[in-house]
């Protein structure tokens, strides 16, 4: 006979493993996007479409993980106190991957049309991209820590808060620089959308880290 507390512990371990897999796939997907970012400087003709295709394959994989996680939550019912937090967390993962796909498609459009932005704009976009990657790595590490060290998981969440503040400041200045640049109107719209999605991606990582902090308590 499986008692409720045993069922809850077993389900919690399963949920943590599924979330760890989701966090890993977010990082893996974003690595593909960074290849396209780098190609804006290095002019790599092979970067772009192949990475987008790989990102879409990862999206399919995460759909399976999400469905499994939701099934586990339905099975446990109302026994698990943090049930709703896990549901919101898996929704954050989905939103992150959608943003990564959108960023990659827009970057590929810039590259395909050979619309190389001003050096300062490119450098700031890459800086935002690097900070975003750093936040995703900390989110992944925080979720990995949930199973054995809650304090460590909370520590990673606090570091993500700091990254999010840096990105907000950088985004405001970058948005102004793009608006004041001599680029054509369509290029300005495209570059602003890339910067906006990068900012939204870090905000979504912060949302996820807040949920990790709640689950860790």
Whether residue 136 contacts residue 101, with contact meaning beta carbons closer than 8 Å, is answered with no
Predicted confidence (pLDDT) per residue in 102-123, tens digit: 999 998 888 888 877 788 898 9
Percent of the chain at pLDDT above 90? 47
Domain residue ranges of the chain, discontinuous segments joined by +: 4-216
- Span 69-82, pLDDT tens digits: 888 777 766 556 67
Distance, C-alpha 57 to centroid of its chain: 16
Q: What pLDDT score was predicted for residue 77?
A: 61
Q: Could you tell me which of 136, 118, 104 has the C-alpha nearest to residue 144?
A: 136
The dihedral of CA 184, 186, 192, 195: what is its sign?
negative
What is 4-216's CATH topology? Methane Monooxygenase Hydroxylase; Chain G, domain 1 (1.20.58)
- Average pLDDT of the chain, as a whole number: 86
Residues in the chain: 217
The answer to whether 141 and 156 have CB atoms below 8 angstroms apart is: yes
150 vs 143: CA distance, rounded Å: 9
pTM above 0.85, yes or no: yes
Q: 3 pLDDT exceeds 50?
A: no
pLDDT exceeds cutoff 90 at 97: yes
């Amino acid at each position: 006979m499986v008692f409720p507390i045993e069922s809850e512990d077993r389900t919690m371990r399963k949920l943590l493993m599924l979330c760890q897999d989701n966090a890993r796939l977010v990082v893996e997907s974003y690595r593909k996007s960074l290849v396209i970012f780098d190609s804006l400087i290095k002019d790599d003709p092979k970067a772009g479409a192949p990475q987008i295709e790989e990102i879409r394959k990862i999206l399919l994989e995460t759909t399976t993980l999400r469905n499994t996680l939701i099934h586990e939550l339905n099975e446990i019912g109302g026994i698990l106190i943090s049930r709703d937090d896990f549901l919101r967390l898996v929704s954050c993962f989905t939103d992150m991957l959608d943003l990564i796909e959108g960023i990659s498609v827009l970057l590929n459009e810039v590259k395909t049309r050979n619309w190389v932005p001003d050096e300062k704009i490119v450098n700031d976009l890459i800086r935002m991209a690097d900070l975003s990657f750093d936040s995703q790595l900390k989110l992944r590490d925080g979720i990995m820590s949930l199973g054995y060290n809650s304090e460590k998981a909370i520590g990673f969440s606090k570091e993500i808060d700091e990254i999010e503040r840096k990105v907000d400041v950088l985004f405001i200045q970058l948005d102004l620089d793009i608006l004041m640049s001599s680029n054509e109107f369509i290029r300005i719209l495209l570059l602003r959308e890339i910067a906006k999605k990068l900012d939204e991606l870090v905000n979504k990582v912060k949302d996820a880290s807040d949920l990790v902090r709640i689950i860790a308590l």
